[in-house]
Structure 1
Amino acid sequence: MQLNKVLKGLMIALPVMAIAACSSNKNASNDQSGEGMMGAGTGVDANGNGNMSSEEQARLQMQQLQQNNIVYFDLDKFDIRSDFAAMLDAHANFLRSNPSYKVTVEGHADERGTPEYNISLGERRANAVKMYLQGKGVSADQISIVSYGKEKPAVLGHDEAAYSKNRRAVLVY
């Protein structure tokens, strides 16, 4: 009889304590004034002053670079076209300034050709980007490559428009 009372007491007390424990820190962690929230995510506080750490700035810069991270290639080619030099230079500058960041260059091909040929061509394309970045002073340790050949098309289709979008190398941080 005494044991039943103790068990009933515990059955009621444990959930109440768990709920109380969860809600007791809610105000402590979320208690923020509106000050400093005006520029949240922008690196600017309410007074217009920059307050981002260098790590946050690097992360923001990397996210911006991810908006422009694809190098396209001509049919059966793996040489870097001049219209992609500025974009690759921006990636090289970022990687040189942030040696802790690493990039993987993914090489791709369109669906024409044998699987072996397309894997090899994708690898040559990824290597061409790697060599370009290294030529701009990026450490080889920061760059890895992988070839997907025709296995991961960006665009499905059997025309030149689709093929040209699939002949690419993608920089992934």
Structure 2
Amino acid sequence: MGLHLRQWMVVMVAPAVLAACSSTPTEEGNVGVSDRDVAASAVASGSPSEALLAEIKNPAHPAHQRSIYFDFDRYEIKPEYQSLVVAHAQLMQKYPTVKVLIQGNADERGSREYNLALGQKRAEAVKQALSALGVAAERIEAVSLGEEKPVCTERNESCYAQNRRADILYEGEF
């Protein structure tokens, strides 16, 4: 029941988060370049995938961050990452043909088999959250890398925390 309640909460928060994603005036009072402007210029020069990649490469874009981090031995999406999932769902709705690959990861503690299973559960949790926000499940592939793709190799809690994640990759990146 907790997962369904959490999905419901994400869906209820989505409109407020999406409203906050519009462009804002700069210090000079001019409106900055919007995501729509970036997307339009990229579409004019290439495919929707290129437009999407141009948007997510912009550090100011809400979906620029593509890693969702998890607590030790857990696969529930933490509240601080729910708005990030909403931003990715919004982006996928804007580009209805683009697909994503979600790579679930684990730290090195635990057996190889256990870490592969945990990584898969993390990737599936993100997939389910995106689906609950209206993204077609067939556009999302969830895979586990287990402990095979660490971003940090030191043996301490700070490093382990960086490896407990799910990474969202867009078509054109995989």
The one of 97, 102, 113 equivalent to 1:100 is 97
Distance 1:151 1:100, change over 3 A: same
**Counterpart for residue 128 of structure 1:** 125
Aligned partner letter, 1:107:
G
Secondary structure of 1:52's counterpart equals: helix
How far is 1:141 from its partner?
1.4
How far is 1:53 from its partner?
5.7
TM-score (norm 1): 0.67
Instruction: Figure out how many residues of one structure are paired with residues of the other and give that number.
Output: 127
CA contact 2:116–2:144 (8 Å) conserved in 1: yes
**Rounded Cα–Cα distance in structure 1 between residues aligned with 2:40 and 2:68:** 34
The one of 106, 110, 120 equivalent to 1:109 is 106
**Rounded Cα–Cα distance in structure 1 between residues aligned with 2:106 and 2:40:** 43
**Counterpart for residue 3 of structure 1:** none
CA contact 2:56–2:64 (8 Å) conserved in 1: no
TM-score (norm 2): 0.67
Q: Map residues 36-55 of structure 1 onto 2, 5 A cutoff.
A: 52=41, 54=43, 55=48
Aligned partner letter, 2:86:
D
The question of 1:68 aligning with 2:65 is answered yes
- What is the identity percentage for the equivalent residue pairs of Structure 1 and Structure 2? 37
Instruction: Point out where structure 1 has 5 or more consecutive residues left out of the alignment.
Output: 1-42, 45-49
Secondary structure of 2:135's counterpart equals: coil
How far is 1:164 from its partner?
0.3
How far is 1:59 from its partner?
3.7
- CA-based RMSD of the aligned residues comes to 2.2
The question of 1:137 aligning with 2:134 is answered yes
**Rounded Cα–Cα distance in structure 1 between residues aligned with 2:95 and 2:40:** 19
How far is 1:52 from its partner?
1.9
Secondary structure of 1:113's counterpart equals: coil
**Rounded Cα–Cα distance in structure 2 between residues aligned with 1:119 and 1:81:** 20
Distance 1:134 1:116, change over 3 A: same
Distance 1:120 1:51, change over 3 A: closer
Instruction: Point out where structure 2 has 5 or more consecutive residues left out of the alignment.
Output: 1-36
CA contact 1:96–1:139 (8 Å) conserved in 2: no
How far is 1:140 from its partner?
0.7
**Counterpart for residue 169 of structure 2:** 172
Distance 1:59 1:111, change over 3 A: closer
